[in-house]
Structure 1
Amino acid sequence: MKNKFESLELGQFIPLHYHHNMLNDTIRMKGFREAINLVVKPGAKVLELGGGTGVQSFFAAQKAQKVYCVERNPELVGAARSFLAKNINGGKVEVIQADALHYLPPEPVDVVICEMLHTGLLREKQMPVIDSFKKRYWEKFGSPLPVFVPEASIQAIQPIEQNFHFEGFYAPTILFQDPRAIQERSKSLGNPDVFQVLSYAEPFSQTCHWDGEIIIAEDGQLNALRLITKNILAINMLTHSTVDWHTQYIIIPLSTPIAVSKGDHISIRFSYQGGAPLNALSDSLEVRLVSKRVPVLELALEALNYPSKFRSNTSQMHHH
């Protein structure tokens, strides 16, 4: 049974005013323009899945012979057609009202642009849309697959101590952070640890998961995790460099804070499907203290008080 609010969910039906905010994001716009200009060769055929206002199809049309721009939301379809008609080479773009999860172009394409991206690959449908596209494209046209923009996503998790007090009001809730800003309310307790490297041209699982440990680098109160998603928009083989774009960081509060010290080991486990709601990660999240660091002074005192025991332990450690 379908959720009656499905059409209102982000990733299903993003309203026009939200796209206006994306147009105003200079870092995002410059990144995609550079990546598309790099990947799209003169005379190429291009498909954009989830075209929104049509801006990325516009970037592609400056060099492409033909661009198919697929958008489900009728309001955005109208806006994209109107905007493209006012821009140079906009006539090369055919705006098609269809669901990107099921659409295939009438001919093979060289490049596929799909920016249905949200941090953690949550909420928006990047993973299911590209996976579905690849399977259907192979059946209809065979190989090779087109080049994808973005080409890859790298995901990491970081332990932090977050200030959840707002003018005296304590609210441990999911927060968003600008990746380019200094976060004075966040204290890093360890380095980010990569849990997923996803190349869209390669086979990939629809599940985002991790079961690992992080070493704490600073004393503090572990009460949240920072979720980081870095998208590799394009790879420049000539300069051996990449065009990157970070989506907003997400701060996920822990249900029970953990007092930690430098050197402690923290176990982190979670599993969720790409495109799932934000709470899919927090609902599956398990964080626990695995081992406490034993201070060097305590070890020294133990060695003085129980030398035979200490020699036995260290001997066993060397054998392992």
Structure 2
Amino acid sequence: MKITSYQQNLLSDSERLTAFHQVISEKSKGIIYDLGTGSGVLSSWAAPLSRFVYAVEKDPLTAQIAQKNLSQFKNVSLMVNDAKSIFFPEKADIIICEMMDTALIDEDQVPVINSVREYLKKDGDIIPCGVFNGVEAVNTNINHPCYQEEETPHTELMSKLIIYDKIDFKKYIEPEIDYDIIIPVKNEGTVSAIKITTFTLLTPDFICGPTPMMNPPLLIPTNHLKVKGGENIILKLKYIMGGGLDTIRASFEAFS
């Protein structure tokens, strides 16, 4: 299979691949859209199990790689375009639209699925079908948002995980997030950042946690606030899904 270095990293993420392969093998049927097909690996799994696959890739160089990898399948049409601009000739039984960025903050696919969802049949499915996001107060030494890899940067957990948002991809995704979240503190010390963890619902019954290339934990610096175990603090959290990391605003306040 022809791939780029970025795609090599994606294909090296065995946990992500195993999860998607299982769900695509179980759910594939009829007409399938693969939005952002990349190397074409997900389309190659869906094609033998479906009537027709529309594999969409807007990057021309990446599309050339996908074309070579998918050339053996007579029931796959590679569409080199932005999915938001395509008029699909028939509605989809399944839409594959992989969302890989934590909390969807830096995720280009948010406006894509909002646009293409109208082509999904009433009884159709989206893979993945949603995400839910959790946040923890932490103490760490960072100056800008960054993804945590193998516990680096090191963090001291100051609270339990609070689930603050659940997103159903079959419904319109409102991009702007603006929450005041009550965080119960478990340790005495200082909170200086938050850790966001995203869990992906490949199906309503199949949850995939963070993997190296799909929704790795995101650390975001905040103001420093002295806290005591057992008290509550308020996290004021804003960002735009699909808007990028520069849209994040996060700060702590004492709970009054």
Structure-1-length-normalised TM-score: 0.73
| Alignment check: 8 A CA contact 1:34 1:243 kept | no
Alignment gaps of 5+ in structure 2: none
| Among 227, 247, 252, the residue aligned to 1:280 | 247
| Among 35, 47, 53, the residue aligned to 1:49 | 35
**Which whole-Å deviations, capped at 9, do the CAs of 1:66-88 have from their partners, x for residues lacking one?**
11100000011000011223xxx
CA RMSD of superposed structures (Å):
2.0
Following superposition, the deviation at residue 277 of structure 1 comes to: 1.3
Tell me the equivalent position of 1:176: 147
Q: Take 1:33 and 1:82, find their aligned partners in 2: how far apart are those partners? A: 20
2:249 is the counterpart of 1:249: no
**Which whole-Å deviations, capped at 9, do the CAs of 1:248-290 have from their partners, x for residues lacking one?**
0011111x31121101211111222210111211xx2231122
Report the CA distance shift for 1:270/1:243 in structure 2 as closer, same or farther (over 3 A): closer
Tell me the equivalent position of 2:22: 34
**Which whole-Å deviations, capped at 9, do the CAs of 1:10-34 have from their partners, x for residues lacking one?**
xxxxx94222211111111111111
Q: Which amino acid aligns with 2:19?
A: G
Report the CA distance shift for 1:113/1:245 in structure 2 as closer, same or farther (over 3 A): farther
Tell me the equivalent position of 1:18: 6
Q: Which amino acid aligns with 1:94?
A: S
Q: Take 1:209 and 1:146, find their aligned partners in 2: how far apart are those partners? A: 31
Q: Which amino acid aligns with 1:244?
A: C
Q: Which has the higher strand share?
A: 2
Report the CA distance shift for 1:272/1:182 in structure 2 as closer, same or farther (over 3 A): closer
2:51 is the counterpart of 1:65: yes
| Alignment check: 8 A CA contact 1:195 1:209 kept | no
Three-state SS of the structure 2 residue aligned to 1:285 is: strand
Tell me the equivalent position of 1:186: 155
Report the CA distance shift for 1:213/1:132 in structure 2 as closer, same or farther (over 3 A): same
Following superposition, the deviation at residue 173 of structure 1 comes to: 2.9
Percent of pairs with identical residues: 24
How many residues of Structure 1 are paired with residues of Structure 2 in the alignment? Answer: 250
Report the CA distance shift for 1:62/1:243 in structure 2 as closer, same or farther (over 3 A): farther
Following superposition, the deviation at residue 152 of structure 1 comes to: 0.8
| Among 100, 103, 107, the residue aligned to 1:117 | 100
Structure-2-length-normalised TM-score: 0.90
Where does 1:177-256 land on structure 2 (aligned, <5 Å)? 177-178=148-149, 181=150, 185-235=154-204, 241-246=205-210, 247-254=215-222, 256=223
The structure, 1 or 2, with the larger RCO (C-alpha pairs under 8 Å, 6+ apart) is 2
Report the CA distance shift for 1:218/1:56 in structure 2 as closer, same or farther (over 3 A): same
Q: Take 2:245 and 2:172, find their aligned partners in 1: how far apart are those partners? A: 24
Q: Which has the higher helix share?
A: 1
Tell me the equivalent position of 2:136: 158
Q: Which amino acid aligns with 1:28?
A: R
Q: Take 1:195 and 1:150, find their aligned partners in 2: how far apart are those partners? A: 19
Q: Take 1:205 and 1:58, find their aligned partners in 2: how far apart are those partners? A: 32
Three-state SS of the structure 2 residue aligned to 1:22 is: helix
| Alignment check: 8 A CA contact 1:54 1:80 kept | yes
Following superposition, the deviation at residue 210 of structure 1 comes to: 1.6
Tell me the equivalent position of 1:91: 74
Q: Larger Rg: 1 or 2?
A: 1
